[in-house]
Amino acid sequence: MLVKTLLIFLITFFAVSEFLLGTSLIQRPLVLGPLVGLAFGQLELGIIMGATLELAFIGAVSIGAYIPPDMISGTILGTALAIEAGAGPETALALGLPISTVMLALNSVLSAPIMLVFTHLMDKDIEEGNIGKFKFHYFFGGYASFLPRLVVIPCAFYFGSEAVVGLLSQIPKWLQTGINISGGIIPALGFAMLAQMIMDKKIAPFFFIGFFAVQYLSLNTTAIAIFALAYVVLMFFKEKDQKGKVAVVEGGDGLDEF
């Protein structure tokens, strides 16, 4: 158990390091799920669980003042506890979503004050022109602000895994069936959240074309992706050609005025 807890800590440390790497997407379930599965000797199951959680969190993107649920804790703990209990991806989803919501509230209470302290220190470093201290406060403050996750996630796994395994073993079959059904609905909600943010009158027709192509022409997602890529390339060169023609017309010839 100690070895698994240490691996959970290392995966969490890797996930929170995204602030040093830009938008590298290492916090996404599609990355963390397989890592947890690999650490637990269940790589294939980790990939499946990570992909299932990715579908649920696909629309969870920080825009403006909106802060999405904490995918790191939800993915790592949901996947780890489900694998430890010998359960499937539906259980990882059922565990991961509430965990991510609780961790979001915990981060808001504990992480924000830490981040605020180091932000003021970095402001002072810039005013004084002390680049060395700024780098130190940025690096150390970044990890300090993620301290709640670095502590809570490994501890929650170490102290909570047996309780979760015992609880799951007591769940009646009818309730487990309900969890499995809801596990198929939640990814649809994730897609709905994503569609709500990006859907407009220009994109909507392509959504319905893809849906009907899969439903009535029995095309798989790979075929749809190939057709979509071909169409995008075609439109790219078409628009590029049109812009070239417009530039030629606008440039014209001085003799045209006569």
Interval 87-98: pLDDT, tens? 888 888 888 888
Position 233 pLDDT exceeds 50: yes
Give the mean pLDDT of 41-67.
Answer: 81
Phi, then psi, of 87 in degrees rounded to 5: -95, 180
Q: What are the C-alpha distances in Å from 137 to residues 20, 42, 126, 133, 231?
A: 13, 38, 11, 6, 48
Indicate whether 11 and 54 sit together in one domain: yes
**pLDDT in the model for residue 105:** 81
Range(s) of the domain holding residue 214: 201-250
71-85, 137-151, 183-197: range with lowest mean pLDDT: 183-197
d(CA 171, CA 100): 22
Indicate whether 36 and 129 sit together in one domain: yes
Total domain count, the chain:
2
| Nearest partner of 71 among 149, 4, 10, judged by Cα | 149
Q: What is the mean pLDDT of the chain?
A: 81
Cβ-proximal residues to 52 (8 Å cutoff; 6+ apart), any chain: 29, 89, 90, 92, 93, 183, 187
Indicate whether 81 and 119 sit together in one domain: yes
User: Is position 11 within any domain?
Assistant: yes
Indicate whether 110 and 212 sit together in one domain: no
Indicate whether 167 and 216 sit together in one domain: no
User: Is position 219 within any domain?
Assistant: yes
Provide the whole-model pTM.
0.68
Burial of 146 (0-12, 13-18, 19+ CB in 10 A): buried
**pLDDT in the model for residue 205:** 83
**pLDDT in the model for residue 85:** 84
| Nearest partner of 47 among 85, 97, 94, 89, judged by Cα | 89
Indicate whether 41 and 146 sit together in one domain: yes
Position 32 pLDDT exceeds 90: yes
Position 250 pLDDT exceeds 80: no
**Domain edge (last residue) among 177, 198, 219:** 198
Position 168 pLDDT exceeds 70: no
d(CA 126, CA 98): 40
